[in-house]
Amino acid sequence: MSQAATSTEIPYVGDELELFSHALNWKACLRRQISPFLGRRVLEVGAGIGATTRMLCDGSQEHWRCLEPDVPMARLLTAQVQNGELPACCEAQAGTVADVTEQFDSAIYIDVLEHIPEDRVEIESVVDRVKVGGYVVVLSPAHQHLYTPFDKRIGHCRRYSKKMLAGLTPPLLSIERLRYLDCVGYFASLANRLMLRQSMPTLNQIRVWDGLMVPISRVIDPLLGYSAGKSVLCIWRKEAAPIPPETPRTTAQSLARIAGLAALTIAGAIIAFFLLSGPPEQGVRPRRGARPFRTTPATAITIGALGGAGLFGLWTRGRRRRR
């Protein structure tokens, strides 16, 4: 292992860890996305104050290693295991991936990789700590254009796109899942980037985001094919031998996808507008007991647009599964 990997540290402050511990809906969303890939033995890199451990570790695992480079936080994790706040299968270890010798079913980086300057070296080094058929899971903030004083304050080196994470893929890893999450939260982050420029969100803002925006995103994200969001999730699977890299999508293919999404969205909006908006036709008597469904033009257009976007998401998902 290279010297760069052995000296990797994860610089951050702890205030935001406590603040985001109140995001219960977001935690439930992440649990649904990540839990199927954990396995029996889990290496959690950058365990912090144990919030992710409490979210994902239900005690059914055989072993859960809480790896934390900050020594006082590692001591806090040990105390939480001893007093029962964390399941008995958990073990805290002060250090980095370079200090780990065993292999695990999965290695997870939940809001951690963006803190590490040498992210490529980090991913390459953790491959040896995962069994063949196991998974490396990364969740990080998405889109560099959303980088704010808050990111800088808590030690984020960068925000990721799907392309950036895919570009970190070592030879023995293949991408199992790559998607954006929380499309509604994206617009809240964009507003903060352009207008508020806060260095730290307030507790009330966290509650509004978690209580209102996250549940809406949970419905809309799959309709959009997980193509937009303020967070990005990448799950790699470890293979027994290197596999050839996938051919990157061309600009023409990307433009074709955007055109297809726009066409279906507009078509759905137009069809819904004519079918659902306005009063019943003059001179047409509805059947006895029948109540024709009518709504406002704006609502009809919204319903149609979401339907069109959903059809596009289902179509692209079907294409990916057939490959």
Domains, the chain, with CATH or none: 3-238 (3.40.50.150), 251-322 (no CATH)
Residues 162-202 pLDDT 10s: 999 999 999 999 999 999 999 999 988 887 777 656 667 78
Question: Mean pLDDT lowest for which of 31-45, 106-120, 175-189, 240-254?
Answer: 240-254
Residues 106-141 pLDDT 10s: 999 999 999 999 999 999 999 999 999 999 999 999
Provide the pLDDT for residue 176.
97
d(CA 1, CA 17): 30
Q: Are 110 and 48 in contact (CB under 8 A)?
A: no
In three-state secondary structure terms, 112 is coil
d(CA 170, CA 158): 20
Provide the pLDDT for residue 74.
97
Residues 50-83 pLDDT 10s: 999 999 999 999 999 999 999 999 999 999 999 9
Provide the pLDDT for residue 11.
47
- Report, as an integer, the average pLDDT of 253-258: 67
- Report, as an integer, the average pLDDT of 272-286: 55
What is the value of pTM for the model shown?
Answer: 0.74
Provide the pLDDT for residue 323.
45
Helices vs strands, H then E, count in the chain: 13, 7
Question: Mean pLDDT lowest for which of 153-157, 237-241, 255-259?
Answer: 255-259
Sign of CA dihedral 223, 225, 231, 236: positive
Provide the pLDDT for residue 18.
62
Provide the pLDDT for residue 301.
61
> Which residue has better confidence, 158 or 150?
158
**Where is 265: in which H helix or E strand?**
helix 251-276
* For the chain, percent of residues with pLDDT exceeding 70: 68
Number of residues that make up the chain = 323
